[in-house]
Amino acid sequence: MKDTNKYLRKKVLVLGLAKSGVMSASLLHKLGAFVTVNDMKPLSENPEAQGLLEQGIKVICGSHPIELLDEGFELIVKNPGIPYRNPLVSGAIEQGIPVITEVELAAQISKAPFIGITGTNGKTTTTTLIFEMLKEGGKLPLIAGNIGTVASGVAQEAEPNNTIVIELSSFQLMGIVDFKPEISVLTNLYDAHLDYHSSKHEYAEAKAAITKNQTVEDYFIYNMDQEIVSEIASRSKAISVPFSSASVCKNGAYVEDGYVIFQGERIVRVCEIALPGKHNLENVLAATAASKLKGVSNEAIQQVLATFHGVKHRTQYIATIEGRKFYNDSKATNILAASKALQSFKEPVILLAGGLDRGNEFDELKPYLANVKGLISFGQTAEKIERVAREAGIQEIKRVDNVEEAVPAAYALSSEGDVILLSPACASWDQYKTFEVRGDMFINAVHKLG
């Protein structure tokens, strides 16, 4: 990592632990800062805090005492999940104390350039595709952020011949100062995280921060099919590289005559791409653009796209059993995500859906149920989803207790050539700790069936 005296003998507060907080505290301690860690979880239940204490780092656990602001901190490194309305955070900002997220630390110490990816949907798939394409092309990428390892941990090991491919949330981007990717990607923007952000505008501006420090020597890859994203591109100083699944954009990535094309060059046939769905085609276009800008060969891109079946829990192909294809889309925790998954398939679908009841109805899902021949429902929202299915004309509807029971029930309703799709349109917390646990239960049940 780069040598820096930036934090030598400076008083820094790390607010909130989890992986990013632990890494930030350890790194700052290594750089000679006087570090204090503050976390809500009591010390007796907090092995991460106990480990930092053993390193000689001051630890305060169990609450966020406002009195910490009287200790003369020169910087706060905030866990991205802690909102800016938190009294400690808002109080620090009022006092003029800089508040950053761990990504900013990574940028300050990294010898390697960054490719940064953000957006409402498609971040993880696009990040993974870029990483795999660069790896296949011999470009020595490293992967970081919300996917993979904490960015400041990766940055400590990175060399100039590496490229750090990093997925970035709006929460992380609100805490950057000088972070500047050489290539940034904005996949799309929809309403999201409005419980964290004060408005849709604040959310959009947080996403736009990915390009705010870019210069005329950098690249901004963006979804030109969305007006709000195009407006952000018009403000960027970077070289704009659009992508579109609906229009021809000669200076970017697009689809024409059955090919993915980048700046006029045919890269791969659309029919050779393993990932299903229009939304995944957009991810492919963004990833192809980034990879071509890094000098990856068409052959390397073709190899990845022919064999990449998706990120785990995101329209992930699992198996084909007696002519039925099984897909795990447990990450579809809302109606928008489930509708995109349903649009990915032309085959008849047996849909597995249901979960935590957040008080909403599911009528917005109805237009996307045309090729759903059967529904297996579960969880708190089972009755609501069943109502919408009946109104959409779906005849075969069965309620089960959980995802494990849903798999054999779906198989019993299916025929050769059908798709059996877990795309719950709901969070998992009524029955499962995380959507990952729910997805793993589905995968296990499919393998048992096989």
Residue 260 pairs in a beta bridge with 255, 268
Helix (H, G, I), strand (E, B) or coil at 83: coil
CB distance 227 to 188 below 8 Å: no
Amino acid at 46: N
354 is in an annotated binding site: no
Cα 391 from Cα 265, distance rounded (Å): 46
Q: Is 124 annotated as a binding residue?
A: yes
Distance CA 17, CA 79 (A): 7
122 assigned ligand-binding residue? yes
According to the annotation, is 123 in a ligand binding site? yes
Is position 119 annotated in a ligand binding site? Answer: yes
* CA–CA separation, 76 and 431 (whole Å): 37
What do you get for the CA distance between the two ends of the chain, in Å?
48
At a CB cut-off of 8 Å and minimum separation 6, what does 342 contact? 349, 351, 365, 368, 369, 371, 372, 421, 423
- The reply, when asked if residue 91 is annotated as ligand binding, is no
Distance CA 439, CA 327 (A): 10
Does residue 215 have a known ligand-binding role? Answer: no
- The single residue listed with the structure tokens 């276009």 is 285
- Cα distances from 409 to residues 364, 377, 415, 416, 448, in angstroms, run 25, 10, 12, 15, 13
Binding site residue list for ATP: 119-125
**Known binding positions:** 119-125
